[in-house]
Structure 1
Amino acid sequence: MTREALTYALWLGLCGSLSACGDSDAATPDAGPADSGPVDAGPPPASRPAATPLLQWVDAFIGTGGIGFNDIGSTYPGPAMPFGMIHPGPDTMNETGALVFTHCSGYAYRDRYIRAFSHTRMNGVGITDYGAVALMPTIGMSAERTTALGHRSSYDKESELASPGYYAVTLDEGDIRVELTSGLRAALHRYTFQAGSDATVLLDVAHALPEVRVDDGAITVLPESREFEGFVHFSGGYSGRFGGVRVYYVARFDRDFAAHGVWQAGALHEGETTRSGADVGGWARFDASSDREVSVAVGISFLDVARARMNLEAEAADLDFDRMRAAAESEWESQLARVEIEGRDERDFRIFYTALYHALLMPTLATESDGRYRGLDGEEHVADGFTYYTDLSLWDTYRTFHPWATLLWRDRATDFVKSMIAMAEQHGSYPRWPLGTGETGGMLGDPAVIVLADTWQRGVRDWDVARAYELARVSADGDPPSGGRGNMEPYLRLGFVPIESAGSSASKTMEYAYADDAVATLARAAGDDESAATYESRGRNYQNLWDAERELFIGRHEDGSWPAEVNERRWEDFYAEGNAWQYLWLAPHDVEGLAETMGGRERMLERLAFFFQESELERRTVGPPAWYWHGNEPDLHAPYLFAGLGDHDGSARWAAWARRTFYGDTPEGLPGNDDGGTMSAWYLFASLGLYPMAGDDDFVLGTPLWTRAVVHLEDGDLVIEAPEASAHAVYARSMSWNGAAIAGTRIEHVDVAAGGTLSFGMSASPE
């Protein structure tokens, strides 16, 4: 959940009360404790397949609402293409503005106004960035229209439609119908004005998401070619750390301009064609006396205006809105059809296919249509033999999204790995949170190497593992000038990061140990067995924080002592976005070692059961929970630790509870930020009955929600059968693979990826 504890404090301070947060309809997220056991609702409804087209099950408004840490998904309803560069959509606000924490994607479901339709954003993150290149249809032009308050419009909520390739809404100001669709690097808008109205379309260069600063920009109006062109240079919550991102654009209209102009600092310049600076924009008027429609294509680029125009020409030269929409919807239907499910509840179909959709929105394509891209060094490069991506929320996504990509989209998983290797080559070390054209250094740990190790372990190996390992050692063995992990001198000397050296010292130690185990995997793959043993040993460094008296992992001082007082349910300074109980489980790479540290398997299972029992009883509020925090990453895997220790019923029970408690089909239906598809990927795995401990070569077995699922993989179909599965039958009385009984609670990734039949005999009670 890529946000820091300070954000939470600021957010609560700004809100004061729930009603002040502009989302009062969602201000009562506490539904009381959920029943941890199976739902006892009588005989289950009949099972049936999800009807086609599968697009009908995607509700793009899921995750766009909510309040507080538990259910702000930070998703957006605008159209897109899978892992595309351009993300057109509405940026909204209320009467008093747009609260940062609820507008990280630019949109909040219950807002009353649309400020404009911008073209760059991320999915489900907890930091505001992007929001560049904003178009807005309006009526007439005046100095007032140059500001967000001046050109915003209330809108008819009942008119709003959203699906993966299409968005539409009717603006109250002028009764203007707005439709959006998208390609990979270019988008199309279609506006329908009222006959005879003073139809105007403006481009606001100064527009960005809340608290994102526009440092510079430019616009040139080209009446002969019916175009606007220019750039926006912005600095956001993360991009400001490296000097900001520059996005270039070309907007081409399908009709001649009746009039045009530019503005700067609120002053209109009718008939003029160019302005530059941080507060500029331009507009064009159109004759709507007989033809009420105006279409505009927008191409963007991270390199230059010429590439933006090239991208527009490649995808939208004909300005054919219906063609682009049909192509987008066809691509989405194809991607959704990779998984066919049968179940008992339409609500579950909506949650699943929306999760699959959300898992395809990040990372962001950063390769231009000619194969070039701007790297983390600021220079232009050629993506030779791969496609380069950016916006990698790695501290989040290494846990569930990347294993999902490796299973379902091997080619994309390879591109993600090669992108990270290219970033390390250019930046000097692996990034933690690359955004746009720079490295933010966001969050902590060394998550890229865990992605690399997981991808390799799961058999996707069309990349240079020797070079990947060499680059991994840069951060694993010291602190490079580029930043790397940080605090490596005391970590290597003491076996932990001491409190005196850094904030979040305990979290860093545990993440570093996890990453060290991943480096050991890369070392073995590269043939360096001696170093692999060293890194594998360092992978147990999390044990150096074990306070046997408290039975928790606690931050330590330089002299080895522990703090005298620790509130085990509070965000102490030595944890990042979590507390001692939530970090108690952060060693998924060493489950047996974790159990041994706690006093053995039975003691760990006892503590796990207590943790989840307390979680079940905890009332959900706007603040972070004290127990299991499904809306955040450090304990996301915890339900599957039961099965990791051989207690399959424990995982079946608590994973089903988490699915039922934290996911829904309303705007508040995602737990916390989606974090670049992390929460969505968790649901996808959990509903199929599989879970990856990132960095391993297998899956921990849970139990499926579906009576039958077919996952179309590259080497064969994975069929999952559980005919008795229902809301009240969540336990497995038997499990088999291709007809042979499964001994244990794990299944090899290589077997799953090759295709086969995984069968569950389900029951309403454990046996």
Structure 2
Amino acid sequence: MVRVLLEKRLEMMEKPTDLPHVALVDPFLGNAESDLPKPEGIAATWWRAKPPVGNTHPGATLPFGMVSACAYSGAYVTGYGRYGLSLSGGSPPVAFGAHEALGLAHFQQSGTGRIRMYYNYLLTTPLGPAGLEERTVRQPLADEVAWPGYYAGRLCGVNVGFEVTPMEKGMKHRYRFPEGAPVAVAVEVSAGGLLIEEMGTYPQGATLKADGNAVSGVVVMEGIPVHFHVKAGKAEAFLWEDDEEMAATSYELTLEKQKFRPTFGFGFRGREGAELELSFGFSLQEAENAQRSCGAESDFEEVVRKAAEAWEAVLSRVQVEGGSAEQQEMFASALYHSCLKPADFSGENPFTRKPGPFFLDLSTLWDLYKTQLPLMMTLWPEKGAAFVEFLVEVAVREGGFPVSYLMDNVPDRFTKQATGLCHAILEDARLRGIEADWERVLSLLWRTSQSGRGRRSRFGEYGRKFQVDPLSHTLDISYAHFCMARMARAVGHQVIHDRASALSPHWRNAFDPVSGLLREDSTYYEGENWNYSFRFQHEMKSRIELAGGKTRFAALLDKFFGFSEASHGERLFRFEGLNNEPDMEAPYAYLWAGRHDRTARIVRRVMQCQFTTGPGGLPGNDDSGGLSSWFVWSATGLFPVCGQPLMLIGSPLFPLSRWHLPEGELVIECLHHGPENVFIEEAFWQGQPLDRAWLRLEEFRKGGHLRLKMSDSPTDFGSRLPPPDFAP
């Protein structure tokens, strides 16, 4: 009977076809091991450093949403699915034999790999006749349906259908129980993390209070208080501990009791064979905030519709026309995944307990800074301004700009596999017109780099030795000084400009002038020296000269991408094909050598062989949208250079793209477009011939018309005027 009832419920909540961009998105894309088209030509030579799985999840959330909810199995890496811990390039190990779930959890990462925090708090499970004992029984998960802002399915063990939809700081659940079955739902407050060794999260303290049909409380996880208020419809609340219902209406977990790691939580009971709705409100500051965020009186269908409309407004900012139905779905899903993180917790700063911008889930900032954050800054400058303010607040409070930021209170925000990324992010934000007190930003960047935490960090070592190990950090810090010098030039701070300029050229110390590549006497994270050797420098002319000139630089790239083979005895590592992101910008490095035809061939081959539809549609970790935003940019024929006023031109996947920018509309039109016509024969900007494979950032920001005449044969387009260097 429940199957029939669930089908009726899902029929009521069909994907909103009147919202065309929402209708195109598949939240299941990237949930499973890659199932990609067979690689052809040079793509067959590329390698993978990480497991070929996207690590996304289909759960419900808002754009840059604070709260998400998804079925929870305890699997790596989002809590959804069947996989165990996987860190190397083989197929991911299967941890669970079937597609199952223990219930629905809140707060998920998206597309990450090995990080510290995996959240999945307040695990919510509908119960069967056995009551609380069934809370730990894995149930087959079936009949899943999802679109932006909505996720539904069925837990087969108890035969209960579920639906979830997000609010600004909360989540609505709806459950449909079989006729004649008891209606009960348990919420485990002690749950958190993954069911993978050393990846669980346990409470450090908690309080609960039941009052009629509502429960309020707080649980401290990883040093962060998660306040919640949950209200049911026509149901009665109860508390439980270790699978035993409690007579008390309040509960407190002390630190002394924590060592026993008890399971505890609350639940609701309603009438038999009924539908049960729950409204969750969350806050990292106050119980009152959580109660206000609960939204208990809102109609479920209205919340679903409001969430879908919010997504439609976001997804319609970049529109593409033409291409196949599969390519349209891939693009819409990529833009969707690009707008999940960072999670906007504005007004919920648990450290200062003050209002203002606050963001979390910067778990892979070394990937986001190249593609995803420039996309956010470009399309939503108000969100960009809030993000800048947040970074400034962190720097003031913690004495440095982070390279990651998660929902925890640990001191490893500054010591991971990159250095000084916020310097590039903030200069990029300034170039994209984000409003901020840039003199104050510059002062903080310089002070935190040269004193305090910076003096004890790789910045201090770089200032003394003019290089650091790993050598990729030498590139980071050199570029950070370039960005500070440019910002100082803009705000008129001569002292910082001169000192930062003097420290910006030492990227050269990381390179071997004989090989033209980064030196091999270093360690490299998730790649090798080849994978980091073609990063964009601020002095690309000098970088190419160091490699022996344009011809030899292009020859190195040819080996890297598989157009030619290694020399006898040469230690060669190939392009990772976007299985990982250290070399995600490398296809565009050809533009500085005048070989746009190579860029065109590679980016189109990547889009053809490394992306598709369905759960296996991504070549590797989406890394909070870093990978998906590469596709968004490249599919429209563009690529940003973070920290420089440049937009590079690639090879559009679609014959027509429209960017609805804050200052005007940008239209990219391709004549003679087709699967084999990947090369640009001629280009016109605002109706005038364009003899360069790049736009100035101010041209892009103001909008205009870029018309490209495509060809199936390589051309010399872009060979005469490479992208410029910018003096610090």
TM over 0.5: yes
Q: Is 1:730 aligned with 2:700? A: no
- Give the corresponding residue for 1:495: 466
- Of 591, 596, 602, the residue aligned with 2:551 is 602
Q: How many Å apart are 1:193 and its aligned residue?
A: 0.2
CA–CA separation in structure 1 for the residues paired with 2:432 and 2:564: 32
- Alpha carbons of structure 1 residues 51 and 594: separation in structure 2 relative to 1, 3 Å: farther
CA–CA separation in structure 1 for the residues paired with 2:147 and 2:565: 34
- Alpha carbons of structure 1 residues 359 and 610: separation in structure 2 relative to 1, 3 Å: same
- Please give the secondary structure, in 1, of the residue aligned with 2:57: coil
- Give the corresponding residue for 1:540: 505
Q: How does 1:259-658 map to 2 (within 5 A)?
A: 260-263=238-241, 265-270=242-247, 272-276=249-253, 278-289=261-272, 292-312=274-294, 316-368=295-347, 373-374=349-350, 378-383=351-356, 387-392=357-362, 393-436=364-407, 438=409, 440-441=413-414, 442-460=416-434, 462-478=435-451, 480-481=452-453, 486-498=457-469, 505-554=470-519, 563=521, 574-613=523-562, 626-658=574-606
- Please give the secondary structure, in 2, of the residue aligned with 1:585: coil
- Alpha carbons of structure 1 residues 542 and 111: separation in structure 2 relative to 1, 3 Å: farther
Range 108-117 or range 712-721, more displaced:
108-117
What's the C-alpha RMSD, in Å, of the aligned pairs? 2.7
- Please give the secondary structure, in 2, of the residue aligned with 1:133: strand
- Of 232, 240, 251, the residue aligned with 2:230 is 251
- Give the corresponding residue for 2:65: 84
Q: How does 1:61-100 map to 2 (within 5 A)?
A: 61-66=28-33, 69-93=50-74, 99-100=84-85
Q: Is 1:185 aligned with 2:185? A: no
CA deviations on 1:290-313 (whole Å, 9 max, x unpaired) are 6x100001111111222111222x
- Give the corresponding residue for 2:141: 155
- Give the corresponding residue for 2:691: 743
CA–CA separation in structure 2 for the residues paired with 1:641 and 1:213: 42
Q: How many Å apart are 1:537 and its aligned residue?
A: 4.0
CA contact (8 A) 1:450 1:694 kept: yes
Q: How many Å apart are 1:191 and its aligned residue?
A: 0.1
- Please give the secondary structure, in 2, of the residue aligned with 1:122: coil
> Which residue identity is paired with 2:617?
G
Range 630-639 or range 161-170, more displaced:
630-639
Q: How does 1:194-273 map to 2 (within 5 A)?
A: 194-210=178-194, 211-224=199-212, 226-235=213-222, 244-257=223-236, 260-263=238-241, 265-270=242-247, 272-273=249-250
Q: How many Å apart are 1:153 and its aligned residue?
A: 1.6
Q: How many Å apart are 1:70 and its aligned residue?
A: 4.7
Q: How many Å apart are 1:52 and its aligned residue?
A: 5.5
- Of 714, 725, 728, the residue aligned with 1:766 is 714
- Alpha carbons of structure 1 residues 553 and 763: separation in structure 2 relative to 1, 3 Å: same
- The percentage of aligned residue pairs carrying the same residue is 26
Q: How does 1:45-56 map to 2 (within 5 A)?
A: 53-56=20-23
CA–CA separation in structure 2 for the residues paired with 1:109 and 1:75: 17
CA–CA separation in structure 2 for the residues paired with 1:409 and 1:675: 20
- Give the corresponding residue for 2:643: 695
- Give the corresponding residue for 2:630: 682
- Please give the secondary structure, in 1, of the residue aligned with 2:710: strand
CA contact (8 A) 1:611 1:628 kept: no
Q: How many Å apart are 1:217 and its aligned residue?
A: 4.0
- Give the corresponding residue for 2:4: none
Q: TM-score, normalised by structure 1?
A: 0.81
The number of residue pairs the alignment matches comes to 654
- Alpha carbons of structure 1 residues 455 and 285: separation in structure 2 relative to 1, 3 Å: closer
- Please give the secondary structure, in 2, of the residue aligned with 1:177: strand
CA–CA separation in structure 2 for the residues paired with 1:588 and 1:295: 54
- Give the corresponding residue for 1:672: 620
CA contact (8 A) 1:643 1:702 kept: no
- Of 111, 114, 120, the residue aligned with 1:131 is 120
> Which residue identity is paired with 2:372?
F
CA–CA separation in structure 2 for the residues paired with 1:124 and 1:308: 28
- Give the corresponding residue for 1:238: none
CA contact (8 A) 2:536 2:589 kept: no
CA–CA separation in structure 1 for the residues paired with 2:19 and 2:96: 27
Q: How many Å apart are 1:285 and its aligned residue?
A: 4.7
Q: How many Å apart are 1:731 and its aligned residue?
A: 0.7
- Alpha carbons of structure 1 residues 578 and 533: separation in structure 2 relative to 1, 3 Å: farther
- Give the corresponding residue for 1:41: none
CA deviations on 1:525-575 (whole Å, 9 max, x unpaired) are 2212453244234332221122233432126xxxxxxx5xxxxxxxxx621
Q: TM-score, normalised by structure 2?
A: 0.85
CA contact (8 A) 1:591 1:641 kept: no
What are the ranges of 5 or more consecutive residues in structure 2 without an aligned counterpart?
A: 1-16, 35-48, 88-93, 567-571, 716-728
Q: How many Å apart are 1:437 and its aligned residue?
A: 5.6
CA deviations on 1:454-499 (whole Å, 9 max, x unpaired) are 1112222x10111111111124324x24x6882334321221115x
- Alpha carbons of structure 1 residues 98 and 63: separation in structure 2 relative to 1, 3 Å: closer
- Please give the secondary structure, in 1, of the residue aligned with 2:53: coil
- Alpha carbons of structure 1 residues 229 and 747: separation in structure 2 relative to 1, 3 Å: same
Q: How many Å apart are 1:648 and its aligned residue?
A: 1.4
CA–CA separation in structure 1 for the residues paired with 2:26 and 2:216: 34
- Alpha carbons of structure 1 residues 484 and 578: separation in structure 2 relative to 1, 3 Å: farther
> Which residue identity is paired with 1:294?
L
CA–CA separation in structure 1 for the residues paired with 2:433 and 2:404: 25
- Please give the secondary structure, in 1, of the residue aligned with 2:624: coil
